[in-house]
Every structure is written in structure tokens, then in C-alpha cells.
Amino acid sequence: AQKVTQAQTEISVVEKEDVTLDCVYETRDTTYYLFWYKQPPSGELVFLIRRNSFDEQNEISGRYSWNFQKSTSSFNFTITASQVVDSAVYFCALHSGIGFQKLVFGTGTRLLVSP
Amino acid sequence: NAGVTQTPKFQVLKTGQSMTLQCAQDMNHEYMSWYRQDPGMGLRLIHYSVGAGITDQGEVPNGYNVSRSTTEDFPLRLLSAAPSQTSVYFCASTGTGSSPLHFGNGTRLTVT
């Protein structure tokens, strides 16, 4: 069975602090994809990144970076120098195997960035 | 380019009523799906479709029906609404099995 665990329910930081959102996944498949989505207070779901199981390179996009470690089944997300606009719920999701994408979502981490 | 369009944005139903949540995409995506979002539970897959005329059940299909008569449209039907179906519903589409999903803006449904 596939499972995604986001143990941090809510994180509060002050602007300009760095923050890391944890994601731990479980799957028996060797081929899988991991995603991060952002849900701002307006409610829509915004795609942030996709990583496949054969690519363990970390990625940086502006203030965002992702650390994928197969050895610990983790795909953590770090925001550097957080801003108020980063306040949102962040979901980690897993698509395991091939064929139709049935995403398994974590329960989300609510990030509150205060000025 | 509208992407994925869901209607309505809000709906209140009484127990036992039926309704259809509409979903349309203009990206010619083969794959479409419906998820529900509940507090503390993330999003869960209700039904999905891999092309016109083909649908299948996801993780939480009970109480919902779907059909896919065209590539563009994928409506979700609640046959007899129950309070347990109070949730936010998201429709999504994608062109390939591993590409990121394009989500609609969601429908907030309350069943009293």
C-alpha cells in the first residue's frame, strides 16, 4: 500500500526565517513520482514540483528547494527566507507504479508566516 | 485558456437530494479525476477516467457516480446526498500518467 505522512500539522514562523516541511512516503514500487502542491487561502491547488524515483538530485527554484532521499523515503521541502505570501497549506503526494495517476496525498502542513 | 473549470463553486443540499458537479477541461487531456478534501485527511480519489467512455473507482467511490461521454467533460453525480459528503471537491486532469495534475478551483458542498 502507498502512504504519505506529513507529521507537521502546522508550522508558524516569522518572515525571513527558513522553514522545512517534512514528507515521508511508503511504497513497494520501484517506479514512483512525488509531488508538492500548495493550497493558498484562496483554495486552489498549485503544482510546485514533481520528482521521479530515478532522479535523486535535489532541486532549487528561487527560495524553494527540495531534498529527495530514497534511503529515508523522504522528500522534504525547504523555503528560504519565508514571506507572508508563503502562508498556505502544502501537500506532498505520491503516484506509485505506472498507468493512471492515482495520487495519494499527505494530510498537509499549514504554514503561517507572520510579518 | 481556461484549464479545468468546475461549477458550481458553492452548493448547499439537504439530505437525500441529488445533484451533479460539473467539470470541463479544454486541454484535450485524456485523464480526469475527482478528489474530495476533508479537514485533516488531505485529498482522496473518488473516481477517475482514462478516456471517453472509460471510468473507474478510486479510494472513496461510494455514493458517487461518474460518466465520461466526451474528452472535455467529467461530471460527478451525488445520487442521494448525505452529511458525510460535506466536503470540498476538486476535479483534475492531466495529459499523461505521470504529469502534474491540473486542478479546478473546487466546489464547496454542504449537506444538511
Position B56 scores a pLDDT of 93
**A88-96 and A104-105 beta bridge pairing:** antiparallel
Please judge whether A103 and B43 are an interchain contact, meaning their C-beta atoms are less than 8 angstroms apart. Answer: yes
- Residue B4's closest CA among B50, B73, B85, B88? B73
- In chain A, residues with a C-beta closer than 8 Å to the C-beta of B33 are 101-102
Please judge whether A102 and B44 are an interchain contact, meaning their C-beta atoms are less than 8 angstroms apart. Answer: no
| Peptide bond preceding B8 in cis form (omega within 30 of 0) | yes
Please judge whether A99 and B97 are an interchain contact, meaning their C-beta atoms are less than 8 angstroms apart. Answer: yes
Tens-of-pLDDT digits for all 115 residues of chain A? 899 999 999 999 999 999 999 999 999 999 999 999 999 999 999 999 999 999 888 888 899 999 999 999 999 999 999 999 999 999 999 998 777 778 899 999 999 999 9
Position B1 scores a pLDDT of 63
Give the three-state DSSP class for A44: coil
Handedness of CA B48, B93, B8, A105 (dihedral sign): positive
CA–CA distance, B57 with B81 (Å, rounded to integer) = 18
Of B50, B56, B100, the CB nearest to A50: B100
CA–CA distance, B90 with A3 (Å, rounded to integer) = 20
- In chain A, residues with a C-beta closer than 8 Å to the C-beta of B27 are none
Is residue B47 within 8 Å of B61, Cβ to Cβ? Answer: yes
Of A44, A52, A95, the CB nearest to B105: A44
Q: What is the pLDDT of residues B66-98, one digit of tens each?
A: 999 999 999 999 999 999 999 999 999 998 877
φ, ψ at B66 (rounded to 5°): -135, 165
Please judge whether B90 and A102 are an interchain contact, meaning their C-beta atoms are less than 8 angstroms apart. Answer: no
Is residue A26 within 8 Å of A45, Cβ to Cβ? Answer: no
All 3 cell numbers of residue B42? 488531505
CA-to-CA separations, B86 to A49, A85, A93, B81, in angstroms, rounded = 30, 29, 23, 9
DSSP-assigned states of every residue in B62-89: TTEEE--SSSSB--EEESS--GGG-EEE
pLDDT of B36 higher than 80: yes
CA-to-CA separations, B95 to A67, B27, B31, B61, B62, in angstroms, rounded = 27, 8, 6, 23, 27
Q: A8: distance to nearest CA of chain B, Å?
A: 11
| B15 Cβ neighbours under 8 A, 6+ residues apart | B81, B82, B83, B111, B112
- In chain B, residues with a C-beta closer than 8 Å to the C-beta of A91 are 42-43
Please judge whether A44 and B42 are an interchain contact, meaning their C-beta atoms are less than 8 angstroms apart. Answer: no
